[in-house]
Amino acid sequence: MSTQGPDRDLASIQEARALASRAKAASSKIVEFSQERIDRIVGEMAAAARVEADSLARLAVKETGYGIVADKIQKNLFAAEQIYQFIRPMKTVGVIRRLDDRRVVEIAEPFGVVAGLIPSTNPTSTAIYKILISVKARCPIVLSPHPSASNSVSRVAEIMTVAARNAGAPDGTIGCMRTVTLEGTQELMRHRDVAVILATGGMGLVRAAYSAGKPAYGVGPGNAPAYIEHSANLKKAVRDIVTGKTFDNGVLCSSENSVVVDEEIANAVKDEFVQLGGYFLSPSEVDAVAKALVTPQYLPSPALVGKSALYVAEQAKIKVPPETRVLIAPLKGVGRDFPLSMEKLCPVLAFYVVRDWKEGCERCKQLLHYGGMGHTMSIHSQNEDVVLEFGLKKPAFRIVVNTPTTHGSIGLTTGLDPAMTLGCGGHGGNITSDNISPRHLLNIKRLAYEVRPSTSGSNSPTDRKPASSSVTPTRPRVPGIKAETLVARIDTFLSTRGYATNLSREYSSSNTDTTPTEVRPLSQTPTAPPIKNDPVDFVCEDDVRQALKEGRKILLAERAVVTPAARDLAGASNTIIEPD
């Protein structure tokens, strides 16, 4: 787009609003689709993505400069094949489960319009995945790609939109922003027609998603440690770590970032790394790589994200053998004094030597606390007791065993649910620790039949008299409410329901008069007090009902929250007034 600055922001905001509105219109249609119809649409979209896996991978690398084409092809196929095969048999329409022993019937209800935020590191595979799981749950989706990946993500949306439309999906089921700015993305996330946010990206973006006032699934940074215990198959352990760290040049947030090794096998592990293309940096080279790779804000330099080990070494002005696949930095500690202990989105590993598994356990905790809480780690060991100890004690929700963290965490080499968005739970500030699937985009309604009779009143065991008691207990006397107070409360209650009375005045003049008091609608009472229209911060359905009854408007504050039910009830009556 040629627009810049405020004009571009405005165009992006307008586009977000239009796409959200189209998706909302589509949701009212797709919600009525049968399971068979939804499955046909999802199947056609997955097939279309499989055909284009190669071209989409090449487009992503060309546009972003990140990663390796062959590995991005594998990720695209993982989304279009393995994830599809996992979600294909899921029931997401109508009755999805019957718990006969409890007489409970579960019914699937789609969450609504999804805002899907797509990163530049894994743009096409993440877009394929989010579209598939959203439509499987009967949720239209609007994608907001990272600006540096907008063309490749738009291409995914185009391919899958054509396939979905040909299979019967309504227009607006899949949308993609083409003019992408921060303001536009924020507008999309906050838009009243968006029901839930799937956020994959940097921590700033994820925090923005959580502050948008909508349910959101986000992910945190990785910084995954890999621990090699002395009983491990060393050759396989090292090969797994190199495979995981070099896959797509380390851009997945679950890729290995540190290696923690028992002292008694440290030298053997180093030899294995060297044979597989690992280069151990000297102290001065560690400093040089840290200066090139880590920004003053302690983030990976965008210029080196997804680049090869040879390219990183060249930018750090150090010489390494031409067969080098991964740079390895021996470190003594974790934190800002050791910059390479942070998450590194390229083939660079920190390397630690520990006395035993207990010390290794503590080192892995430190690494996870320094930017990987709740995410992923791996352990390579044949000792099941040690493996279980790591499972019990580590603040990571995916602890993969004897496999690469990159492949194991997403379910490529393990039995975990295959996914491209990995929740980090409470440790990582996320709402779930799950691998995200269509289940997370469903609300579940439950029919619950009586399975045991209720008891109340004199039938309640607690209300029965003791068999041996011949004395009837007396109820303590409770002082009553004064008549004047009761009358005043009735006046107040009726006035909130749109009626005016003169009970208080009549009672004060004659508390012996039993003539019924006239109750008149406020519209017929010329002395009714004026109703103020101050801006409000929150509006629910009851507020709208009350405003309609009183014939007044509701003026919203600048960042007011309005429930969907309130919006629907207000309808075309213009009861709700947006702020200027």
DSSP assignments along 438-473, one per residue = GGGGEEEEEEE---S----GGGSGGGSPPTT--SPP
Closest by Cα among 167, 166, 189, 165 to 177:
189
Of 402, 440, 401, the residue nearest 419 (C-alpha): 440
pLDDT at 281 > cutoff 50:
yes
**139 or 6: which leads in pLDDT:** 139
Torsion of CA 127, 256, 66, 173, to 10 degrees: 0
- b/e for 110-126, b at 16 or more Cβ within 10 A? bbbbbbbbbbbbbbbbb
pLDDT bucket at 527, cuts 50 / 70 / 90 = very low
| Residues ≥6 apart with Cβ < 8 Å to 424 | 219, 220, 373, 374, 375, 397, 430, 433
Rounded Cα gap, residues 193 and 21, in angstroms? 6
Determine which of 213-217, 354-358, 503-507, 576-580 has the lowest per-residue pLDDT on average.
503-507
8 Å CB contact between 26 and 172 = yes
* Burial track 164-186 (b if 16+ CB lie within 10 A, e otherwise): beebebbebbbbbbbbbbebbbb
- 394 phi and psi angles, rounded to 5 deg: -90, 135
Q: Which residues contact 543 (CB under 8 A, 6 or more apart)?
A: 536, 554, 566
Mean pLDDT (the chain) is: 87
Quote the distance between the C-alpha of residue 347 and its chain's center: 27
* Surface-to-core class of residue 373, CB atoms within 10 Å of its CB (0-12 exposed, 13-18 middle, 19+ buried): buried
Can 5-219+438-447 and 224-413 be said to share one CATH topology?
Answer: no
What is the CATH code for 5-219+438-447?
3.40.605.10
Assess if CATH 3.40.309.10 describes domain 224-413: yes
Exposure letters 517-554 (e unless 16+ CB within 10 A, then b): eeeeebeeeeebeeeeeeeeeebebebbeebeeeeeeb
Tens of pLDDT, residue by residue over 74-123, are: 999 999 999 999 999 999 999 999 999 999 999 999 999 999 999 999 99
Rounded CA gap, 35 and 17, in Å? 29
State the pLDDT at residue 177: 97
CA distance 8 to 335: 39
Instruction: Characterize the bridge pairing of strands 113-118 and 141-145.
Output: parallel
Quick check: 525 pLDDT over 80?
no
CB-CB contact of 327 with 356 (8 Å)? no
Per-residue model confidence (pLDDT) at position 492 = 64
Give just the sign of the alpha carbon dihedral 267, 272, 273, 279. positive
The model carries a pTM of 0.77
Q: Angle at the Cα of 548 (from 543 to 549), degrees rounded to 5?
A: 100
Give pLDDT, residue 6: 77
Domain-wise residue ranges, the chain: 5-219+438-447, 224-413, 481-524, 530-580
Enumerate residues 6+ apart whose C-beta is below 8 A from 429: 210, 218, 220, 373, 374
Residue 253 annotated among the catalytic residues of the structure:
yes
139, 176, 253, 424: the active-site residue: 253
Residue 554 phi/psi, 5° resolution? Answer: -115, 115
